[in-house]
Amino acid sequence: MPLEGTYATHSTDWVSKQIDTILETGTTASVDIKGRDVVMVTMHAKEPGVLRRVPLMRVEHDGAYAAVASRGGAPKHPLWYFNLLRNPHVEVQDGTETGDYVARQVSGDEKAQWWERAVAAYPDYADYQERTDREIPVFVLEPAG
């Protein structure tokens, strides 16, 4: 079921430009991060009736995606991390395809497996983990239904 609400603009200029490009072209293939593919995740914001979009590294396996809450190795989680905890229903756009997904935070062996996939897709994640004392959370986004 598609998410409904008013879309908030992103506070970071380069992220806003990526989102605008994806919306203008209709595909996530129109942008990248350091030459790596991205997906766009749409989620409920903290504010009622507000939706937020965020481009994330494309880490896909068997139709599920990882959402790595790295924030570049900053000491605090990205704000979208808390949005997924509050409401795990998201939309994922990969290329021109968009679908409904449910996010769940993973731990233990499952997290280790997804972390390995994430680092393979975007090696900077390993450096980000070295920069911070917090354990970088990983969510798995699985098709709803």
Distance, CA of 38 to CA of 59 (rounded, Å): 8
The predicted pLDDT at position 11 comes to 77
Residue 67 corresponds to which tokens in the numbers above? 């959402």
Question: Can you give the CATH number for the domain in which 120 is found?
Answer: 2.30.110.10
> What is the distance, to the nearest Å, from the Cα of residue 21 to the centroid of all Cα atoms in its chain?
17
Number of domains in the chain: 1
| pTM, entire model | 0.93
Average pLDDT over residues 8-24: 89
Beta bridge partners of 105: 139
3-state DSSP assignment of residue 88: coil
Give domain status of residue 92, yes or no. Answer: yes
Give domain status of residue 48, yes or no. Answer: yes
95: DSSP letter: T
- Reported as a single tens digit per residue, the pLDDT across 90-114 is 999 999 999 999 999 999 999 999 9
Please give the residue range of the domain that contains residue 98: 6-143
Confidence of residue 10 (pLDDT cuts 50, 70, 90): confident
% of the chain exceeding 90 in pLDDT = 87
Cβ neighbour number for residue 72 with a 10 Å cutoff:
11
Biggest CA pair distance of the chain: 39
What does 110-121 look like in DSSP terms, one character per residue?
HHHHHHHHHHHH
Give domain status of residue 1, yes or no. Answer: no
